[in-house]
Amino acid sequence: MKYLLIGLNFLYLTVASSQNLEKINSIEEAESFIKLNPKAEITTLEISNDSLEYYKKRFLEKDIIDKYRIVKTEPIVSMRVSYIYLDGNKLTINKKRQEIIKLYKKGKSFGELATIYTMDSNFNKGDLGWFNEGVMHKTFEDAIKNHKKNDLFEVDITENKWYYVVLKTYDDLPKSIFYILSVID
């Protein structure tokens, strides 16, 4: 009898969960829902804004809506740059930085310069790869946001003695993060 009641209770929660997903409209409501339903979870999905409408429509289709619910959408920006890091504890920055900039303007590739001059362990010829705002030091991100693709610029984080020569390699990429409540059968 005990197992029958547990089974019926589980069945009730599963049926109730898919019927009630459409009533959940916030992260807080989703977290409360998860406490009552062990087969529910919140996951995130990053979507570039050019695909946003497709995914919004897709999550409204019948085969999706019973198991998934977007409970929050948040705009975010991804950025990509290449950089050369100079450690202010180990050398005089301005002279070295001007030397690097001069060589770049004479046609030396930024990747080659990064391989020669960077003082950290970036093995990707200075390419930082795509990263979302809020991940790097605020001063670094703010400088990137204030420049366009192919701009070469300097960033100083003096309190840490971090100094950079930065090449913005791509335009910023506006995206959205979907916070999705899902119920797995």
pLDDT in tens, 35-49: 998 889 999 989 888
pLDDT, position 63: 66
Which has more pLDDT, 49 or 1? Answer: 49
The Cα 163–Cα 97 span in angstroms is: 9
Domain extent for 63: 2-67+176-183
Helix (H) or strand (E) holding 138: helix 138-145
The Cα 4–Cα 24 span in angstroms is: 29
Task: Tell me the whole-structure pTM to 2 decimals.
Answer: 0.74
157 and 89 fall within a common domain:
yes
Pick the closest to residue 49 from 134, 176, 145, 171 (CA basis). 176
74 within some domain = no
73 within some domain = no
76 within some domain = no
The Cα 68–Cα 59 span in angstroms is: 7
pLDDT in tens, 56-108: 777 777 667 678 888 999 999 999 999 999 998 887 788 999 999 999 999 99
Provide mean pLDDT across the span 106-132.
92
The Cα 150–Cα 148 span in angstroms is: 6
161 and 108 fall within a common domain:
yes
160 and 99 fall within a common domain:
yes
96 and 164 fall within a common domain:
yes
To which residue do tokens 């610029």 refer?
A: 153
pLDDT, position 3: 38
Provide mean pLDDT across the span 142-169.
96
- Which phi-psi region, left, alpha or beta, contains residue 117 (left: φ > 0; alpha: ψ -120 to 50)? alpha
Q: For residue 68, give both structure tokens.
A: 């998934």
User: Is residue 12 very low, low, confident or very high in pLDDT (cuts 50, 70, 90)?
Assistant: very low
59 and 30 fall within a common domain:
yes
116 and 52 fall within a common domain:
no
pLDDT, position 4: 32
96 and 156 fall within a common domain:
yes
The Cα 63–Cα 84 span in angstroms is: 49
98 and 63 fall within a common domain:
no
53 and 99 fall within a common domain:
no
Which has more pLDDT, 122 or 151? Answer: 151
